[in-house]
Amino acid sequence: MKRLCLISLAAATTLAACASADPQAEPAGPSTEGDGVYSGPAILLSGDTASLDKLIEHLADAMGRAEIELGAGDPTITSSVSVLPPPGGPLEGRNVSTPEIFNLSLRDGVCYASRVSKCEEIELADVTCVPPPDRD
């Protein structure tokens, strides 16, 4: 029971740290700053092998894993990218691991991936992102 309480407390603390924004501030969304540079959600410009390999390389480094597999979804269509958990071993029972979610964003012409569960952001060097098309 103590362990469950400690885990709950740690999760609540992490979520509170992620949500430490000013409640009076306007919700964050896409914007163009004074110089007209877009800041907001992003998608990959190209879904070619080289672009996906670079994205996978950066996400694997961020997760401290040698290899990762992307979940369902197309990063050239949606700004949310999921990374599947590593497969369980032969002696492991039911695997309850969940995918890690990264949100792609563009700021000052640079592409970033924000890891939702850890409130961390990594720069995606050599990955070209663009704003998603308007959905009017």
Cβ-proximal residues to 45 (8 Å cutoff; 6+ apart), any chain? 51, 76, 128, 129, 130
| pLDDT value at residue 16 | 45
pLDDT at 44: 97
Position 26 scores a pLDDT of: 41
pLDDT of residue 135 exceeding 80, the answer is: no
Q: Is the pLDDT of residue 136 over 70?
A: no
Q: State mean pLDDT over 117-136.
A: 90
Tens digits of residue pLDDT in 14-43: 444 454 444 344 445 566 555 678 899 999
pLDDT of residue 95: 77
Q: Are 64 and 53 in contact (CB under 8 A)?
A: no
Residue 85 has pLDDT above 70, yes or no: yes
For residue 2, what pLDDT is reported?
Answer: 47
CA separation for the pair 123, 110 (Å, rounded)? 7
DSSP 100-124: EEEEEEEETTEEEEEETTTTEEEE-
Query: Tokens 């961390």 belong to which residue?
Result: 120
**Which pLDDT tens digit goes with each residue over 58-84?**
999 999 999 999 999 999 999 999 999
- The contacts of residue 47 (CB under 8 Å, 6+ apart) are 74, 75, 76
Whole-angstrom Cα distance, residue 81 to residue 79? 7
pLDDT tens digit string along 94-107?
778 899 999 999 99
